[in-house]
Chain A
Amino acid sequence: MSAYFIAHFLLIFLVFNMLVMSAAFMVWMERKVCAYIQDRVGPNRVGVEGLLQPFADVLKLLMKEELRPKAADAFLFTIAPIVSAAAAFTAFSVIPFGSETTLFGLLDRPLPLEVTDVNVAVLVIFAITSMGVYGIVLAGWSSNSKYSLLGGLRSSAQMISYELSYGLALAAVIVLGGSLSLRELVLNQTGYWFHVIPRWYIFLQPLGFLIYLTAGVAETNRAPFDFPEAEQELVAGYHTEYSSMSFAMFFLAEYINMVTVSAVATSLYLGGWLGPILPSWLGWLWFLLKVLLLLFFYVWMRWTLPRYRYDQLMEFGWKWLLPAAVVNLIATAALVLWIG
């Protein structure tokens, strides 16, 4: 075993733990931001400023009774949260979050800061994030509860309305970058226009960025598109019948999905770990900052906008987002060929 392999294993371990921690942090941030938006203080008892609140919640959930409705499909009911969580974790595995490092000369060759550098990373993310919907639909169907079933149905309705625009928005970025590897796409955004404006794709793809963000919010089932779990209509939607740690798994999956969508947006549109001032080995700090800003945007949106109706999202996705994404793709391709 060379030092390189040990470092790689440690990195995988680190990324996994960072994901769990980011979900915990995100729960805290959501509660805190929502509290300030509503002129409250939010969690402030457990730890400094309530930072340990998510861990207290996990301990509480761990001790809770776990119920499975007797009419539920035992096998599917058990694996649904596992499918959700596994899909959420795996999607992050191809996202680069920093440049290469040799750990100050400790390694014989540079180790890229990501779980693995796959040359079709965009496709891998596209494939794995779509798997997440299976967990939700399985949970909704297997619970044998009307609320869960409706939640599952809505989730699949949502998936078929935004996924096309999501893919087409990504295709426009690929036209610009000429690669499916996220690392190459990020590195293509190096440099500045007129020495001031960073060469990030968001400036070339403003429409694409908006389409991606909209589709991303729909994909993670967040407000204003949180129909699968709309609490005023469906109790808790697809996870109505889940309790204890199985519920926590869905919760974890939702928050990790948010982190992943923000991380992909950061890599494709906001220049990933590239940024001024910091030396390149500290680039991951830029990455972290950009992802945090997008996550804040998510929370902000949730507590500001009212919920859509789900036939409205289907109509919006098919009649507005899809044409816009097609026009965006063709216009991008034409401009790339014209200007070169």
Chain B
Amino acid sequence: MLRAYVPIFLFILVAIGFAVVTLLISRLVHAEKPNAVKLEPYECGIEPETDARDRYSVRYYLVAMLFVIFDVETIFMFPWAVILDRLALFGLIEMALFLFILVVGYFYAWKKGALEWA
């Protein structure tokens, strides 16, 4: 069973190898003449005043937290979807209940304004 995954790892290795080798070859071939101005971050010709990694407001952080919760719920759908024909009506009702609870939470978050930009 696990043997089926070996080619995937082979593929990852080939992909990483391809990227690394290409980057190395390009490093050997091209010219490098850095100077102070070239090594500044690009800001359309204006000298950067501050570091870019300042404190900044991630306006959608509540949405990001909701995403983590809902994404985990989504994962539950996959095994259910595969064996739905065996679970039959019981499975459908169970999932409808599960989704109902989820939807109540979703509407609560929506009405609370969690989906708007804070």
Binding site for B on A (CB under 8 A): 8, 12, 16, 61-72, 78, 81-82, 85-86, 88-90, 93-94, 115-119, 122-124, 141, 143-149, 153, 156-157, 160-161, 163-164, 167-168, 171-172, 174-175, 178-180, 235, 240-241, 244-246, 248-249, 311, 314-315, 318-319, 322, 326, 329-330, 333-334, 336-337
Count of B residues near A, CB < 8 Å? Answer: 66
Task: Given A93-B11, A116-B5, A245-B22, decide whether A235 and B60 contact each other with a Cβ distance below 8 A.
Answer: no
For window 48-83 of B, CB contacts with A under 8 Å fall at 48, 51-53, 56, 58-60, 63-64, 67, 70-71, 74-75, 77-78, 81-83
* Bound: A116/B33 CA distance, A: 45
Instruction: Tell me the dominant secondary structure on chain A's binding face.
Output: helix
B6 interfacial contact with A, CB 8 Å: yes
**Cβ-defined contact, A85 with B41, below 8 A:** no
Residue from A163, A180, A240, A249 within 8 A of B22 (CB atoms): A249
Residue from A148, A153, A164 within 8 A of B58 (CB atoms): A153
* Bound: A172/B7 CA distance, A: 28
Q: Top 3 closest A-B pairs, CB basis?
A: A145-B41, A89-B15, A245-B26
Contacts of A311 in B (CB 8 A): 59-60, 117
A268 nearest CB across to chain B (Å) = 13
Contacts of B12 in A (CB 8 A): 86, 89-90
**Cβ-defined contact, B14 with A16, below 8 A:** yes
Select from chain B the residue with minimum beta-carbon distance to A154: B60
B110 interfacial contact with A, CB 8 Å: yes
**Cβ-defined contact, B42 with A117, below 8 A:** no
Given A8-B7, A89-B14, A249-B19, 19 more pairs with CB closer than 8 A: A12-B11, A78-B23, A86-B12, A90-B11, A93-B8, A122-B78, A147-B43, A148-B41, A149-B52, A167-B78, A171-B78, A249-B23, A311-B59, A314-B115, A315-B115, A319-B110, A333-B81, A333-B84, A336-B85
